[in-house]
Amino acid sequence: MSLFITFEGGEGCGKSFQAEALHGRLCQEGIPSILTHEPGGTPLGNELCRILKWNENLDITPMAELLLFNASRSQLVDKVIKFNLEQGKVVICDRFTDSTYVYQGYGRGLDKELIRNINDIATQGLRPDLTILLDLPVEMGFARRNNNLQDRFEKVEMTFHERVHQGYLELAAEQPERFLVINANQTKAKIADLIWRKVNELLHLRA
Ligand code: TMP
């Protein structure tokens, strides 16, 4: 049965590791699933990802940024996510619409209602069944990152990332039925276990 699960969180929270771990666990259990990510996950999306994360020379405005993330999303929903959900698979997506809501809304200061509308156009109204938010204080997330290469977002001032963090917590509080908030300052194994319990519960409910 299909299930759409997204992972969210600030820089260095460990969501990509946990998304891969969940995908690995589902494969082990013989449950058909795919793992994808935003921005990217399609040839067009990967090009947009390169521009959005790494191109310093384009002076991208917040509105253009919002539209480019959603162009990548529209392509991903149409070409990958919907198709796999229709096949009855579990689709795991590393970041989705909530990233836009908090990074471009709380972070860049764009109007949140406008973001919701544009997100809805890109997703054709598709919403995650479960969103796992890995919650970590901003400084802790940045301290964990061991790469010298910082992308366009990692270079933005700390107050931006504080607003993003706050945005995630507010969003999760508004929609507790969709969000599973996990303290990301625990062992990877413990976090993976909490995630698996929740996903397993949902899978049984839908069986
Ligand atoms: P990451 O997946 O390695 O964290 O990189 C993606 C970066 O892009 C991250 O800093 C969050 C940012 N982002 C947005 O600002 N808006 C979005 O809609 C998405 C999907 C990501």
pLDDT in tens, 133-174: 999 999 999 999 867 789 999 999 999 999 999 999 999 999
pTM over 0.75: yes
CA distance 146 to 168: 24
Enclosing H/E stretch for 62 = helix 62-76
Residue from 13, 67, 103 whose mutation best tests the ligand 1 pocket (most atoms within 8 A of CB): 103
**8-state DSSP, 102:** I
What is each CA distance from 76 to 71, 91, 146, 167, 169, in whole angstroms? 9, 12, 29, 24, 26
CA dihedral 110, 111, 116, 118 (to 10 degrees): -60
Report the residue among 133, 153, 155 best suited for mutation to probe ligand 1: largest number of ligand atoms under 8 A from its CB.
153
Distance 99 CA to ligand 1 centre (A): 6
Q: What is the mean pLDDT of residues 192-204?
A: 97
Q: How far apart are CA 166 and CA 147, in angstroms?
A: 25
Locus of tokens 């771990």: 21
Ligand 1 pocket, residue 39 CB under 6 Å: yes
Fold of the CATH domain 3-206 = Rossmann fold (3.40.50)
Residue-wise pLDDT for 55-111, tens only, equals 999 999 999 999 999 999 999 999 999 999 999 999 999 999 999 999 999 999 999
Q: How far apart are the first and last CA of the chain?
A: 7
pLDDT at 177: 97
Burial call 124-149: b when 16+ CB within 10 Å, e when fewer: eebebbbbbbbbbebeebbeeeeeee
- Give every CB contact of residue 51 below 8 A, 6+ residues apart in sequence: 58, 60, 68
C-alpha Rg value of the chain to the nearest Å = 16
Q: Would you say the CB of residue 69 lies under 6 angstroms from ligand 1? A: yes
In this predicted structure, what is the pLDDT of residue 148? Answer: 75
- For residue 140 the two structure tokens come to 């802790």
- 13/185 Cα distance (integer angstroms): 8
pLDDT digits (tens, 9 = 90+) for 99-122: 999 999 999 999 999 999 999 999
Nearest residue (by CA) to ligand 1, atom 19, is: 99
